[in-house]
Amino acid sequence: MYPLPTRKGRQFLLAKIQLRNERFLVGTAHLESLRNSQDLRSQQLQLCQSIFDRHIGDSLNVTGFFMGDFNFGAHWRENTIQMNILQGWTDLWPELKGPDDRGITHTNVRFDRMMFRSSHVRPTKIRIIGKKPIAEAPPSGNQLASERDVFISDHFGLKANFDLSFI
């Protein structure tokens, strides 16, 4: 666990997994929220990138996953700036779904990302999960039934499949 520069207690979590000859680095972060936090998100991404770089080193047998709530929309101008920090990474949603599929994960925007880099592992599929309610809250006042739906998160999640046959 690595602390990030933040006003909200954000951290970067990194797991290392060895499978055959490939080392997998799986990182997740919830970047700073609010639209005016672009500079802080840039600092957070730079730190996450440097942590990945330190753990990857010169090795060719490393697959990296970096995912989480990035808190900037994929179609915002900020996206271009932030993605320049993550050079060498592939945003799996447009890679597998095409640029016209917006992949909405929260109120008309795609905040949530699954970034990927590897020489040996191939992404094959990505989809959105968590779109169905898991329960219904008890009635309160004049709420409609749909307003009582309880979801696992206020964002939808992402699930991806990968071909590991090349490792």
Matching residue, tokens 């990194």: 14
Matching residue, tokens 């749909």: 146
**DSSP track, 117-144:** E-SS-EEEEEEEE--S-SEEPPP-TT--
Q: Which pLDDT score, from 0 to 100, does residue 142 have?
A: 84
Write down all domains in the chain, each with its CATH number in brackets: 2-121 (3.60.10.10)
| Model pLDDT for residues 32-62, shown as the tens digit of each residue | 998 899 999 999 999 999 999 999 988 899 9
High-pLDDT (> 70) share of the chain, %: 100
Mean of pLDDT over the chain: 95
Whole-number CA gyration radius for the chain: 18
The one-letter amino acid at 124: T
Q: How far is it, in rounded angstroms, from Cα 118 to Cα 88?
A: 9
